Amino acid sequence: MNPLTLKILILGALGLTYAVNLTLGLLNTRQKKTEVDSRFAAFIDAEAYRKLLSYNSAKARFALTEQTVTFVILFFFILCNGPGWLDSRLVGTLGDQKFRGLAFFGILGLGGFLLGIPFELYFDFSLEARFGFNTKTLRTFWADKIKGLILSAVLGGGILYLLLLFVEILGPWFWIGFALLLFLFMVLFSTLYTTLIVPLFNKLTPLEEGDLKASISALGQKTEFPLSGVYLMNASKRSKKSNAFFSGLGKFKKVILFDTLLTAHPTEEITAILAHEIGHYKR
């Protein structure tokens, strides 16, 4: 396949993906109900519902803007042969193909990282703040970005290097070795996520003994969903939103509760939320 045909195929796929995402986003926006359904009127506050609609509309417009800007930049970067130009510059600088590949994707990744910063700043400190969700400071924002960049460089760079090494050693059979390596990495990452990754960004503390912990333990036993621990995460340093998630595999699964969840919901509701999450695993 000649370079021109490949470029046309890539640009066509890129344009089609953008068009599909744009269409789906617009269709989702049009499907919203402006009033609370009469069947739920006794349970949902009308003013809170209108605020929710306004928030979702603002997020949809933001997502559309970000997608459009990203699409335009990426489209013209490929159209103007940006990848080829970058590779030609690296060929004269780095002789080893593996390091050249690392540099190539590293530069592209850094470009995407820098492109995303203005959007993330606006989302956190304008859109989220306008609706009363953001509690993040600029210090926390930049600390998160720097840590995330370093983590992406170490993990992403390491995986990419091994991929290029497998291509060099195994030739057309590289995908078998790399698939096995990727599987092992995903298992290890899932197991150690709360031990190594989460503490880089948040503080985890064991949930104190009490009604909530007893209720969660009982739920785990009832659903035959073994838990090795229940932890509280200081998510309120970034947002007022509530959430909970599981991490780990087998008998080493842990429950992570946002501290905002405890201030916004009683024990019964938190237990119901976790039952919903367990349902995803059981399905």
* pLDDT tens, the chain, 283 aa long: 788 888 899 999 999 999 999 999 888 877 777 788 778 778 888 888 889 899 999 999 999 999 999 999 999 999 999 999 999 888 878 778 889 999 999 999 999 999 999 999 999 999 999 999 999 999 999 999 999 999 999 999 999 999 999 998 988 899 999 999 999 999 899 888 988 999 999 999 999 999 999 999 999 889 888 888 899 999 999 999 999 988 888 778 889 999 999 998 999 999 998 998 888 777 6
Same domain, 186 and 214: no
For the chain, percent helix, then strand, then coil, each to nearest 5?
A: 75, 5, 20
Q: What residue numbers bound the domain in which 7 lies?
A: 3-199
Q: Does 271 share its domain with 212?
A: yes
CA distance 257 to 219: 15
CA distance 127 to 130: 5
- The per-residue pLDDT for 96 is 80
Count helices and strands in the chain by DSSP H and E runs: 10, 4
User: Is 277 found in the same domain as 152?
Assistant: no
| Pair of tokens at residue 165 | 């090494």
CB 119 within 8 A of CB 66: yes
Instruction: Give the C-alpha distances (Å, rounded to integers) separating 38 from 47, 54, 259.
Output: 15, 20, 33
| Number of domains into which the chain is organized | 2
Check whether residue 195 and residue 73 sit in a common domain.
yes
Cα gap 214→219, rounded to integer Å: 9
Same-domain check for residues 32 and 155: yes
